[in-house]
Structure formats: structure tokens, C-alpha cells
Structure 1
Amino acid sequence: MESIRKFCRSYHEFGFLEIMLARGLRNCNPLNIRKGRDQWQGQADRQTDSAFVVFKSMAWGWRAAFKLLTRTYYHKYRLYTIRMIIQKWAPPHENNTEAYISNVSRLTGIPPDEPIGIPMESPARWMMLAAAMAIQENGTSDLDYFALLQGWTLSREECGER
């Protein structure tokens, strides 16, 4: 066991272990939020990925994900089912959208066309949605669920910033 730890530590020191991690986990960006004109709260000073935002910690990445899902997708665009959200999040010209919808529905137990609920009244359903989307985005269920909870809490704070 100690030899495995040394092996992983030496690989990490040279950056090889990071390359093996899924991009969203490496960037502390579990839903692979693309770079845009917005400066996210919790965004890392050093942006090492040319396409996706890099966050300081996984909690900040989850916060951004929840801000997008609840404030932008739910409140602004009025998207309130798994199908509606994922059709915008992962459009067919970039993804196998139907497979994405099917996997997220299966993982959450929420039918694709059933309303998820109002975020403040159904936080568990929104957290399940985000976790299932992260599993789909990163190809692993080995997520930091404590950071997910921290991200939800951070996203609910009224700070007036992204």
C-alpha cells in the first residue's frame, strides 16, 4: 500500500496523475462550465484550461453549477425538467443528448419530463440533478459530496455576484 502511495505522489508531483483525472475534476468544475464573459466567484487566478473555467476548489465549482442551474436555467429560461435543462446544457451538436437525459433520469430516479421543483422547496432534487450531471460529465461517481453541499450553501447566499 505504501508503494502505491509513493507511486501516486511521485506521479502527482510531475503532473501525470492530474492528466489521468477527468477534466471537470482536474478543474474543480464538476459540470464543465465553459469560459465566457463572466468572472465567477471562486474562479482560480490561474486559468490553465483554454475552454473551461478552473475554480479554486470543488465547492466553488459546485456553487457556479448551482447558480447556472437554478438562477439561469430555472428562473431566467424557465427550464424545469431534466429534458429541458439537458437539451440546453448538452445540445445534440456537441453531445448524445438523449443518452445524457436517460442517464441523468436513471441516476436521479426523476422521470425526464417531470418538473424538478422549485429550488428552495426541493433542494435535494436539484443536488441529485447536479450530481447525476457531474457523473455524466466526468464518467465517475467518485464525487466529493461534501463539496457539493458546500456549493449549494454558497449558491444560496445573497452576494449579488456570480
Structure 2
Amino acid sequence: MTVKSTLPPRGIRNNNPGNLNFAHQKGAVLEPGPNARFARFPTPEAGLAALRDQLYLYMTRDKLRTVNAIIYKWAPTKENNTTAYAQFVAKKIGVKVSDDLGPPTPTLIGKIMAAITEYENGQNPYGSLIAKVAANLPSKGASV
């Protein structure tokens, strides 16, 4: 008999719905445990803000303007089924994986955040909190 865990997914437990690797992000600590590698944030808002800021950097600094480009950098093929991931995100936000997304907007970033959250965790418990966090994009050129 297989026992199903009742714990929330790792990303939800860590307030890190994008499962960002720990990189000394503001307010974050390394998650506990023997396989620690992801950041743990103090609140869901902080983890969502880190996800938002990383996507914003990809789109502005790195000039990644397609779902394929963003997800292939976000979730490298050595660790993920990146093609399936990109297709999932593109379908959720209503575009093709190769469509030019244009400049980052709060609405676009929010949609990508929601799709990544769902793919990484099998759920998205944040509802309107994602749109609220996405509404506060960093200033262009700001270091995040």
C-alpha cells in the first residue's frame, strides 16, 4: 500500500511557488533538509515577488520574449521535461510557445506566474494574490 503525503508541495511549504534555487535572495534562506537547494521565503508574497522579479529580469535584461525561451532558462532540460513545461505555460496563458510576448506587463507576468506555480506545485492556492504581486513590477533598469 502506498501512503500519500498530506504535506503541501515543496514550493508551497517554502513560500517559493516557482521553486527558485537559493541564491541569497532578499529575505530568503536555504530550505532545510538533506536535499536542500531551494530558497525558503518568509511569506507567500515574498516568494511570489521573487518569482515576479526573476521573470521580469528574463524579459528585460535577458530579452527572453517567448514562453519557450523563458521556460528553457527557468527549467533546464537536464532536470525537467522542458518541452512539456513550456507547452503547459503557453496553453495556460493563451499563446503558442514561440509567440513574441512583447514587453513585460503586470497582466502578462501574473499569467506566467500563475502557470509556473501550477506546474511546479500541481496547484495554485494563491488566487488574486498573484495579480496583486504582479502589479508591482520593478522599475525598468532596477536591480532585483
TM-score under structure 2 length normalisation: 0.83
Q: Counterpart of 2:74?
A: 89
Identity across the alignment (%): 28
State the distance in 2 between where 1:96 and 1:32 align: 15
Give the deviation of 1:59 after TM superposition. Answer: 0.9
**2:35 is aligned with 1:65:** no
Which ranges in structure 1 are unaligned for 5 or more consecutive residues? 1-15
Relative to structure 1, the CA distance from residue 48 to residue 153 in structure 2 (aligned partners, 3 Å threshold; closer, same or farther) is farther
Equivalent residue pairs, number: 137
For 2:11 and 2:90, locate their aligned partners in 1 and report how far apart those are by CA, in whole Å: 21
Residue in structure 1 matching 2:122, options 139, 148, 155:
139
Q: Which residue does the alignment assign to 2:19?
A: 32
Structure 2, unpaired ranges of 5+: none
User: Which structure features the higher share of helix residues?
Assistant: 1
Aligned 8 A contact 1:59 1:151 in 2: yes
Residues 58 and 64 in structure 2, CA contact (< 8 A), matched pair in contact too = yes
In terms of Rg, which structure is larger?
A: 1
User: Normalising by the residue count of structure 1, what TM-score does the alignment of the two structures yield?
Assistant: 0.74
Q: Is the 8 A contact 1:33 1:53 kept in 2?
A: yes
Give the alignment's Cα RMSD to 1 decimal: 2.2
Structure 1 match to 2:10? 23
1:25–1:138 contact (8 Å) kept in structure 2? yes
- Find the aligned partners of 2:92 and 2:137 in 1 and give their Cα distance: 23
Aligned residue for 1:56, secondary structure, equals coil
The equivalent residue for 2:28 is 43
